[in-house]
Structure 1
Amino acid sequence: MSSHEVCLLIGRDEEVLWCEASESPVLLPDSRARWEAIWYWREELVEVAHSHPEGPLGFSEEDETTMAALTEALGRAPRFSVVAPGGMVARVEGRDVWVSEEPWWAGPLREISGMQYTPMARA
């Protein structure tokens, strides 16, 4: 099975509002449809999640610039998260934190991204 990055827009009560998949395991190209969905769901949007099926378990430089642009456009920072084979990390109040209890949608996000869950040992 091939892997690819996937983006989810999450609303209140962990409702998946929108989903987009790329053709690449390491890149989620900018998309007009994604920006239009973000704007359409801007009042309900509480989290922007995406997968890194080949790692890393963290935000890339491109993720950082995208998060800054989204925060500026929305006038607030939604929660941002990355789901990878080894776990999940979220940006909470400017800090990256390990998510020990993953939301229900993390498993399906891994599945549609074509990755297996291989939890990392936490010290």
Structure 2
Amino acid sequence: MSAREVFFLIGRNETVLYRDEGSGPTFIPDARTRWEAIWSRRDELVEIAHSHPVGPLAFSAEDDTTMDAITSALGRTVVFSVVTPGSMLRRIVSPDATAAASDQVVDEEPPWAAELRRQSGV
């Protein structure tokens, strides 16, 4: 299996509510079905995670605008994660622009992180 970026919606109790994948390691094209999945699961949604199977352990500029759009649409705080072959990064994003978001490397990864890596081909 070749490396590809994979996307998970995570609910309460670390449950994977939805998954999607790109065709390559650095990009998942925008899709209406993904936005509909986010909206239809908004009451259950706790975290949105995606992989960077070839790195970096960082959120991209596109990730930043997507996070802002999602938290603005939902009107509440959401946790976002990036999972790489060797680590995981989380950011808590609030729709309140005065609340600064900071990235935290995750020491104890949730169970779904291993599945996200496996589906990403790493």
Q: Shared fold (TM-score greater than 0.5)?
A: yes
Tell me, yes or no, if structure 1 residue 37 matches structure 2 residue 37.
yes
In the alignment, the residues of structure 1 paired with residue 77 and residue 7 of structure 2 have an alpha-carbon distance, to the nearest angstrom, of 17
Query: What displacement does 1:86 show?
Result: 2.2
Sequence identity percentage = 57
Unpaired stretches in structure 1, ≥5 consecutive residues: 116-123
From 113, 117, 122, the equivalent of 1:106 is 113
In the alignment, the residues of structure 2 paired with residue 34 and residue 3 of structure 1 have an alpha-carbon distance, to the nearest angstrom, of 20
Query: What displacement does 1:29 show?
Result: 1.1
Q: Normalising by structure 2, what TM-score?
A: 0.91
Unpaired stretches in structure 2, ≥5 consecutive residues: 94-100
What does residue 20 of structure 2 align with?
20
- CA RMSD, 1 decimal: 0.9
Q: Normalising by structure 1, what TM-score?
A: 0.91
- Are the equivalent residues in 2 in contact too, given 1:70–1:77 (CA < 8 A)? no
CA deviations on 1:9-43 (whole Å, 9 max, x unpaired) are 00001010000011010001111010000000000
What does residue 69 of structure 2 align with?
69
Number of positions where the alignment pairs a residue of Structure 1 with one of Structure 2: 115
What does residue 47 of structure 2 align with?
47
Query: What displacement does 1:92 show?
Result: 2.8
From 103, 111, 118, the equivalent of 1:96 is 103
Letter in 1 for 2:59: F
In the alignment, the residues of structure 1 paired with residue 14 and residue 36 of structure 2 have an alpha-carbon distance, to the nearest angstrom, of 20
- Are the equivalent residues in 2 in contact too, given 1:90–1:98 (CA < 8 A)? yes
Letter in 1 for 2:111: W
In the alignment, the residues of structure 1 paired with residue 33 and residue 102 of structure 2 have an alpha-carbon distance, to the nearest angstrom, of 29
Query: What displacement does 1:66 show?
Result: 0.4
SS of 2:71's partner is helix
In the alignment, the residues of structure 2 paired with residue 64 and residue 53 of structure 1 have an alpha-carbon distance, to the nearest angstrom, of 18
In the alignment, the residues of structure 1 paired with residue 109 and residue 71 of structure 2 have an alpha-carbon distance, to the nearest angstrom, of 23
Letter in 2 for 1:24: G
